[in-house]
C-alpha cells in the first residue's frame, strides 16, 4: 500500500506541472481553475485515505478480533459514519 505522503505528493506534482504550463501561457482562468481543482481533489483524497486507514486492518475473524481488541467491520463502519458527521 502506498504511503499517504507519497500519494499527496504525486497529486501535488501533477497539479504543479499543469499550473506551470498554464502560467507559461498566461492563462489566468486556467490557473484559477487548476487551483480550485487541486484543493478539491486534495480534500477528497484525504477523505479516501482516512477511509482506507479505517478499513485497512480488518480482522480475520470475529473471535480473533475480540481477542486482539480489534474493531469488527461493523465497528469500523460506525467509526466511518461518525467521521463523516464531523466534516
The residue extents of the domains of the chain are 4-86
Distant-in-sequence contacts of 64-71, Cβ < 8 A, 24+ apart: none
For position 59, what pLDDT does the model report?
A: 55
Residue 63 has pLDDT above 80, yes or no: no
Average pLDDT in the 35-55 region?
A: 93
Q: Do 48 and 87 meet the contact criterion of CB atoms below 8 Å apart?
A: no
Rounded Cα distance between 61 and 19, Å, is 48
pTM of the model: 0.63
Grouping H, G, I as helix, E, B as strand and the rest as coil, residue 27 is coil
Amino acid at each position: 500500500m502506498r504511503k499517504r505522503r507519497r500519494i499527496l505528493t504525486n497529486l501535488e506534482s501533477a497539479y504543479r506541472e499543469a499550473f506551470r504550463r498554464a502560467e507559461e501561457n498566461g492563462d489566468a482562468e486556467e490557473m484559477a481553475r487548476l487551483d480550485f481543482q487541486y484543493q478539491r481533489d486534495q480534500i477528497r483524497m484525504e477523505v479516501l485515505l482516512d477511509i482506507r486507514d479505517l478499513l485497512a486492518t480488518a480482522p480475520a475473524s470475529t473471535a480473533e478480533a475480540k481477542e486482539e481488541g480489534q474493531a469488527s467491520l461493523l465497528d469500523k463502519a460506525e467509526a466511518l459514519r461518525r467521521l463523516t458527521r464531523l466534516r
